[in-house]
Amino acid sequence: MARNLYIVAGVLLGFAAISFVMALTSSHFQPALPANGTLWKTTALFLTLGGLLAALLGMLTAIFEQVDRRNEERKLAQRRKRGAGQHNH
């Protein structure tokens, strides 16, 4: 799950970079595209925020998955320890 969120974050940040570049270039090179620089800047801002939010969710998901995995491993190790202790007596 975290890997998918990282991919989404990368795509959103990539589109944000493209939008930012579009805001900096003049409209003479793109006659069919919107020439309003503030539109491109606003789009870049929202895509950047979305990408950062997706990256944060990806990190939190990875952290909680790791905690769950370690908790299960600890429980399994405790069960093995108790099982081995009961067979010795």
Dihedral, CA of residue 65, residue 61, residue 2 and residue 67, to nearest 10: -20
Phi, psi of 27 (to 5 degrees): -80, -5
CA distance 12 to 51: 5
Contact 65, 2 (CB under 8 A): yes
What's the residue count for the chain?
89
Q: How far apart are CA 54 and CA 75, in angstroms?
A: 31
The whole-angstrom separation of Cα 65 and Cα 57 is 12
What tens digit of pLDDT does each residue of 8-33 get? 999 999 999 999 988 887 666 666 66
Chain segment 38-82, per-residue pLDDT in tens? 888 999 999 999 999 999 999 999 999 999 999 999 999 998 888
Domain edges within the chain: 2-63
